[in-house]
Amino acid sequence: MAKIDKSLYSKEEIKAMKAAKRERKAAKLLKNTAKTFPASKDKNILVLKHGQKYSADYVNKMYNMVTANLEYDFNFYCITEDPVNLNPKINVIPLPTVAVTGWWYKPYIFSAELPIEGTILYLDLDLVVTNSLSRLFDFYPGEYCIIRDFTRSMRPNWEKYNSSVIRFEKGQLDNVWQRFKKEHLLIMRKFYGDQDYLWEATQGKAKIFPDAWVRSWKWEVRKDKRFKPGQPRGQRELQDIEHVQAPDDCCIVAFHGDPNPHNCHDPYIVEKWI
């Protein structure tokens, strides 16, 4: 695309042309990187990136953290419509062609059609790895495993799932995806989010990872949960910096809601989020 003569177009038209250029670049790169990967029986890490909420930097940092904290050989996959700036060692899988947005892409991780073989550990991008992840693969091998939702910190008997850390075998929960693909409009009206749907669809079938292994940074590690005043939701930072660390038995800390890891300035997180 030649350089735009800004005198010939309105600001809106220039913005639209630049967006179209970015989309063409992403589509070209996706075409070149989305391929059928060699079948592997090794352990697999899977993440999901869609829209503009998280940058490629989040995916690359997750790859770095996993590399530093997983003793097993592994393959790393990212489901996305935009692979621009991803580490070339990351295998790209295109988003499914279903008319959904946000977290409603997540049921696709369970599809038996994914070009992955073996055990899959799915991780949300707003997580920070703090210790060895090997225990997440060693826990009840072959079983579907998940964590309890962090509401547990306020209601100890809380049983519902949190879908930020899930381990399963390829195709093991394909019915979750097949049902969603057929009934996604009804499911999106009925449930607040993907983890509520997952709870209803698989309740009682999952083994629960120990709470200590995956903790909420703001609710279960830090002492002060207050935010700085006057900041918009999605960009809020915690009011004070705390010099705290996750316990040794914790391998992941979660940043559900605000703040996101890049907006957390606690030294421990700055050190770990690499």
Per-residue pLDDT tens for 116-132? 999 999 999 999 999 99
* Predicted confidence (pLDDT) at residue 139 exceeds the cutoff of 70: yes
User: What's the mean pLDDT in 98-117?
Assistant: 90
What pLDDT, on a 0 to 100 scale, did the predictor assign at position 101? 78
- 83: containing domain: 12-31+39-272
Establish if 134 belongs to a structural domain.
yes
**Rounded to an integer, what distance in angstroms lies between the CA atom of residue 92 and that of residue 25?**
15
Establish if 7 belongs to a structural domain.
no
**Residue 103 pLDDT level (bands cut at 50, 70, 90):** confident
pLDDT in tens, 201-255: 999 899 999 999 999 999 999 999 999 999 999 899 999 999 999 999 999 999 9
Establish if 4 belongs to a structural domain.
no
Residue 24 structure tokens:
């063409």
**Residue 69 pLDDT level (bands cut at 50, 70, 90):** very high
Establish if 260 belongs to a structural domain.
yes
**Rounded to an integer, what distance in angstroms lies between the CA atom of residue 185 and that of residue 203?**
21
CATH of the domain at 176: 3.90.550.10
Establish if 3 belongs to a structural domain.
no
36 to 93, 116, 128: CA distances (angstroms): 9, 9, 29
Starting at the earlier edge strand, list the strands of the sheet with 127-129: 127-129, 252-254, 214-216
* Predicted confidence (pLDDT) at residue 34 exceeds the cutoff of 50: no
Establish if 6 belongs to a structural domain.
no
What pLDDT, on a 0 to 100 scale, did the predictor assign at position 42? 87
Structural domains counted in the chain: 1
Residue 227 structure tokens:
């935010």
**Rounded to an integer, what distance in angstroms lies between the CA atom of residue 209 and that of residue 167?**
10
What pLDDT, on a 0 to 100 scale, did the predictor assign at position 134? 96
Residue 267 structure tokens:
């030294």
pTM reported for the whole predicted model: 0.85
* Predicted confidence (pLDDT) at residue 5 exceeds the cutoff of 50: yes
**Rounded to an integer, what distance in angstroms lies between the CA atom of residue 202 and that of residue 210?**
18
66 to 31, 72, 93, 245: CA distances (angstroms): 26, 10, 19, 19
Q: Could you tell me which residue, 14 or 76, shows the higher pLDDT?
A: 76
- 146 CB neighbour count, 10 Å cutoff: 24
Establish if 124 belongs to a structural domain.
yes
* Predicted confidence (pLDDT) at residue 45 exceeds the cutoff of 80: yes
Establish if 65 belongs to a structural domain.
yes
Q: What is the mean pLDDT of the chain?
A: 89
